[in-house]
């Protein structure tokens, strides 16, 4: 898979403050790339550099093998976290203006806007002023404007904030559809559940440095211990628990069940097979649950960031 976007050793300083310290990223074509990091980590600065809003002090950015160039503006669609529209301008005129700024002709922009407005069933908003719309409604208009010029690279910064669950779902579906149509998407958010759901690649930035980057499955694999969550019914629970504790490293586990059972987390040695554990369990009781503990993005995030403190 080729990389649509390559960020190579980019650094950015504001006075004595370092916002980005030699950060490199590779965003594969056609992926949804989760850009994660705590507040103030440097995500927004990086996104602004990709958008050519600010220039890097050092390093280079390549889009589709070419060094970033002013003409690339029309290849990128950006939905910033801090977003708004002209309050006293009409929705339609505003959308047309922003589309034209991205290089669409007026006619083209009109046709595409009509398509999107029909799709979201908001055609009757065309002549309204933004100040008459609710925040969520304005967000929808912003989403349309971001994707209208069919850019190769889409950057969404907290795209779901301000949406109710129904509309958030509509937007999520649209994002997935855009990916299917071949767009590459960079997705910056604090909502880890949507990262789990949507992203296939992630990168984690903390304190101006990149800590983790890779395919989501690879990242998870490298962060998992050899840990299994077990729910089992024994006739003599206390004795069996003692036995288990002698053989394995056992800690309490917490998950919801409908009946009483022994709930434990078993940590195996690095190269040990889970089959031994499973053999012991099946020989002595009824196994109701047996699954490998895979860290969530949330856990990886918290662990990595706190280790980096």
Partner 1 sequence: MNNLPLILKREFIARVRNRTFVVMTFLSPLIFVGMILLISWLATINSSDVKQVAVVDETGSFFEILKSSEEVNFLNYTDYKLEQAKDSVRSKELYGLLYIPGNTANSKLEESVQFYADESPNISVIRNIEKSIATKITNQNFKEQGLDIHKIEEARARVNIQIENFSGEKTSKMSTYIKMIFGGAAGYFLMMFIIIYGNMVMRSVIEEKSNRIIEIIISSVKPMQLMLGKILGTSFAGILQFFIWVLLGGILLTVITSIFGVNAQPPSMDAAEAMAGANQEQIQLILNDILKLPLLTLVVSFLIYFIGGYFLYSAIYAAIGAAVDSETDSQQFMLPVILPLMLGIYVGFFSVIENPHGTISTIFSMIPLTSPIVMLMRIPFGVPWWEVAISMLLLIASIVLVIWFAGKIYRIGILMYGKKPTYKELFKWLKY
| Residues near partner 1, by CB under 8 A | 14-15, 48, 51-53, 70-71, 73-74, 76, 78-80, 82-89, 97-98, 100-103, 142, 145
- Minimum CB separation of residue 103 from partner 1 in Å reads 6
Burial bucket for residue 34 (CB in 10 Å: 0-12, 13-18, 19+): buried
Query: Shortest approach of partner 1 to residue 144 CB, angstroms?
Result: 12
- In whole angstroms, how close is the CB of 165 to partner 1 at the nearest point? 24
- Asked if 163 and 136 touch (Cβ cutoff 8 Å), the reply is yes
Q: How far is the CB of 79 from partner 1 (least distance, A)?
A: 8
Give, in order, the Cα–Cα distances in Å from 165 to each of 22, 79, 175, 197, 293.
38, 19, 15, 15, 29
Supply angle C-alpha 80, 135, 120, rounded to 5. 85
Query: What's the closest the beta carbon of residue 295 comes to partner 1, in angstroms?
Result: 34
What is the sign of the dihedral through the CA atoms of 97, 100, 102 and 108?
positive
Helix H or strand E encompassing 16: none
Q: Please identify, using beta-carbon distances, which residue of 83 and 220 lies nearer to partner 1.
A: 83
> 183: number of CA atoms within 13 Å, CB side?
25
Choose between 12 and 210: whose C-beta lies nearer to partner 1: 12
Write down the least CB distance from residue 213 to partner 1, Å. 24
Rounded to 10 deg, the angle between the 91-101 and 106-119 helix axes is 130
Q: Which is nearer to partner 1, 2 or 131 (CB)?
A: 131
Question: Which residue is listed with tokens 């649950």?
Answer: 289
Nearer to partner 1, 76 or 137 (CB): 76
Please choose, from the candidates 297, 298, 293, 291, the residue with its C-alpha nearest in 3D space to the C-alpha of residue 200. 297
Cβ proximity to partner 1, 100 vs 304, nearer residue: 100
Cα 231 to Cα 260: distance, rounded to the nearest angstrom = 10
Alpha-carbon distance 168 to 159, whole Å?
A: 8
Q: Min. distance of Cβ 81 from partner 1 in angstroms? A: 8
Query: Whose Cβ is closer to partner 1: residue 117's or residue 143's?
Result: 143
Which residue, 49 or 305, has its beta carbon nearer to partner 1? 49
Min CB(203)–partner 1 separation in Å = 21
For partner 1, which is the closer residue by CB, 102 or 265?
A: 102
Cα dihedral 194, 195, 200, 202, rounded to 10, equals 160
């Amino acid at each position: 898979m080729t990389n649509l976007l390559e960020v190579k050793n980019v650094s950015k300083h504001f006075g004595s403050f370092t916002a980005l310290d030699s950060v490199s990223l590779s965003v594969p074509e056609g992926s949804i790339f989760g850009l994660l990091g705590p507040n103030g980590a440097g995500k927004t600065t990086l996104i602004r550099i990709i958008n050519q809003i600010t220039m890097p002090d050092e390093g280079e950015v390549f889009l589709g093998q070419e060094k970033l160039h002013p003409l690339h503006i029309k290849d990128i669609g950006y939905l910033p976290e801090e977003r708004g529209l002209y309050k006293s301008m009409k929705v339609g005129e505003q959308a047309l203006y922003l589309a034209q700024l991205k290089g669409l002709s007026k006619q083209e922009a009109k046709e595409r806007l009509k398509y999107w407005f029909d799709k979201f069933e908001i055609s009757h908003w065309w002549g309204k002023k933004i100040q008459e719309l609710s925040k969520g409604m304005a967000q929808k208009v912003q989403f349309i404007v971001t994707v209208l010029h069919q850019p190769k690279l889409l950057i969404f910064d907290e795209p779901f904030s301000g949406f109710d669950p129904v509309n958030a779902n509509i937007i999520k579906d649209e994002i997935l559809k855009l990916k299917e149509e071949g767009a590459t998407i960079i997705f910056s958010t604090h909502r880890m559940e949507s990262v789990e759901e949507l992203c296939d690649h992630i990168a984690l930035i903390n304190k101006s440095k990149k800590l983790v980057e890779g395919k989501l499955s690879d990242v998870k694999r490298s962060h998992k211990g050899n840990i299994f969550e077990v729910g089992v019914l024994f006739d003599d629970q206390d004795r069996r628990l003692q036995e288990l504790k002698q053989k394995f490293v056992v800690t309490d586990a917490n998950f919801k069940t409908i009946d009483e059972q022994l709930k434990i987390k078993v940590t195996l040695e690095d190269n040990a097979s889970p089959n031994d554990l499973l053999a012991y369990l099946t020989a002595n009781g009824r196994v109701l649950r047996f699954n490998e503990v895979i860290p969530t993005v949330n856990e990886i995030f918290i662990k990595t960031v706190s280790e980096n403190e």
